[in-house]
Amino acid sequence: MAARSGRAAMLLRKGPVLGLSPVPRRYLYKKKWATTSPRIPATRLALHHFDTTYSLQLQERWPAVRAAMLCEQKYGALLNNFAPADLIAQQLELLSATDFVSEAARRARCWQESADVEAERRKTSLEGSGGDGTMVPTETSPLLHASVSSNIKCYTFPRGDISRFRPAWPDSLGILSYYLMDAASLLPVLALNVQLDDLVLDLCAAPGGKTLALLQTGACGHLAANDVSFSRTKRLYHILNSYIPKEIRETVSITSHDGRNWGELQGGTFHKVLVDVPCTTDRHSVMEEENNIFHKMRTKERQMLPMLQLQLLMAGILAAKPEGEVVYSTCSLSQLQNEHVVERAIDIAETQFNITVHVEDLSHFRMLFQDTFCFFSGCRLGELVLPHLTANFGPLYFCKLRRA
């Protein structure tokens, strides 16, 4: 027979007290801690954890970020270029929504032009003063590396406007016109800057928002979309079937491998790799009980996340060709899951694989997209979008690496 618990055994050992007859066995009360102690909701545990860690990390910015995460998030409408996009764009513009990607591209062009004018002016003045006429870099030159794919179009309502898009409707061929997503999720895809005929790997692809955005560039030579979860991969199939015509879908290979082993399977193959890892999904964790990683039963899984993220990023780096580019992203504010993972990966790539990895400067994204998103300026590596009540997107961290 199974041994009785210490507490219950003690109760049973007690004899008659003050002449009373022993308590009949059936009335003995055994406290069931697991079922009777009040269960703290996972959302509350998440908020408590974030209050402790993010108040240190974000300091005076945390209360505003916290308030935004507890409010309804904002969406962007990623236009489907495989549907009659011009018509839909006109309809969205009538609602006062604007395409933030085209606006950033326009801004980048303006900077380019004014930087060219400034460079020309300096050149002329140097020539006039007896210089050798060599081009002098202007102060704005890092911004000119801005790479904004003009094919991706995503509409958002202006700052402070909390209007919502209505669900997308299918065209005569059954293809949906736009996909509603956190607009900040497009930034890792834009940072990847897919060029024509690039071989692209989306290592953790499901449910598929970023895969869909990668296909909107119209540039992928081949796209490998992988996700370890079969059930989530089904959602990826569903999204591709709803948005992408068959002939384009056939250029995408969908697999369900454990991404950590990808480097061994197909090392040194891809021009561009997106590593959009599982994380504490901060906004979800403070709002939804279902599938919440702060659930007591998932403590171990949560604690192991940085290790899983590191292994996935390493696999992504190994899957890239020499000179290939990797974008790492999470939807968490956590430094442990963001910069620390990137730093560890760079270190391991160098020491264990003799691969040098450089971090690409993406600070121009802050300037390009400042009208749409609220950025944190304190990241050591990479960029972080902070939720804010006037621009309630994110959190979204992304960092771009280039393999030497």
Ligand X SMILES: C[S@@+](CC[C@H](N)C(=O)[O-])C[C@H]1O[C@@H](n2cnc3c(N)ncnc32)[C@H](O)[C@@H]1O
Active site residues: 331
Among 98, 192, 216, 278, binds ligand X (CB under 6 A): 278
Whole-angstrom distance, CA of residue 149 vs CA of residue 388: 26
Whole-angstrom distance, CA of residue 185 vs CA of residue 394: 8
> Residue 343: how many CA atoms within 13 Å on its side-chain side?
9
> Of 42-50, 118-126, 228-236, 368-376, which segment contacts ligand X by CB under 6 A?
228-236
> Of 92-100, 203-211, 294-302, 364-372, which segment contacts ligand X by CB under 6 A?
203-211
Among 42, 184, 208, 306, binds ligand X (CB under 6 A): 208
Given a contact cutoff of 8 angstroms between Cβ atoms, the answer to whether 309 and 334 are in contact is: no
**Closest to 45 measured CA to CA, from 298, 385, 392, 332:** 298
Please tell me whether residue 283 binds ligand X under the rule CB under 6 A.
no
Residue 399: beta bridge partners? 328
Among 46, 78, 79, 206, binds ligand X (CB under 6 A): 206
Whole-angstrom distance, CA of residue 319 vs CA of residue 255: 15
Please tell me whether residue 260 binds ligand X under the rule CB under 6 A.
yes
**Closest to 394 measured CA to CA, from 343, 346, 325, 338:** 338
Residue 243 C-beta: closest distance to ligand X, Å: 13
Residue 271 C-beta: closest distance to ligand X, Å: 18
Whole-angstrom distance, CA of residue 331 vs CA of residue 338: 9
Please tell me whether residue 318 binds ligand X under the rule CB under 6 A.
no
Establish whether 15 is an annotated binding residue. no
Please tell me whether residue 234 binds ligand X under the rule CB under 6 A.
no
Given a contact cutoff of 8 angstroms between Cβ atoms, the answer to whether 144 and 112 are in contact is: yes
Nearer residue to ligand X within complex by CB, 56 or 304: 304
The separation between CA 234 and the C-alpha centre of its own chain, rounded to angstroms, equals 20
Please tell me whether residue 232 binds ligand X under the rule CB under 6 A.
yes
Nearer residue to ligand X within complex by CB, 163 or 291: 291
Residue 208 C-beta: closest distance to ligand X, Å: 5
DSSP-H helix ranges across 176-304: 186-192, 209-216, 230-243, 246-249, 262-265, 282-287, 299-303
Please tell me whether residue 227 binds ligand X under the rule CB under 6 A.
yes
Establish whether 154 is an annotated binding residue. no
How long a stretch of residues is the chain? 404
Residues near ligand X (CB under 6 A), total = 19
Residue 227 C-beta: closest distance to ligand X, Å: 5
> Of 18-26, 62-70, 100-108, 202-210, which segment contacts ligand X by CB under 6 A?
202-210
Please tell me whether residue 263 binds ligand X under the rule CB under 6 A.
no
Whole-angstrom distance, CA of residue 252 vs CA of residue 224: 6
Whole-angstrom distance, CA of residue 297 vs CA of residue 30: 23
Residue 284 C-beta: closest distance to ligand X, Å: 10
Please tell me whether residue 302 binds ligand X under the rule CB under 6 A.
no
Establish whether 276 is an annotated binding residue. yes
Strands 178-181 vs 252-255: parallel, antiparallel or unpaired: unpaired
Please tell me whether residue 276 binds ligand X under the rule CB under 6 A.
yes
**H or E element that contains 384:** strand 383-385
Distance set, CA 352 to CA 1, 262, 367, 404 (Å): 53, 17, 37, 15
> Of 82-90, 208-216, 282-290, 294-302, which segment contacts ligand X by CB under 6 A?
208-216
> Of 80-88, 172-180, 253-261, 385-393, which segment contacts ligand X by CB under 6 A?
253-261
| Contacts to ligand X by CB under 6 A | 185, 204-210, 226-229, 232, 258-260, 276-278
Tell me the binding residues. Answer: 204-210, 227, 258, 276
- As annotated, the binding site for S-adenosyl-L-methionine includes 204-210, 227, 258, 276
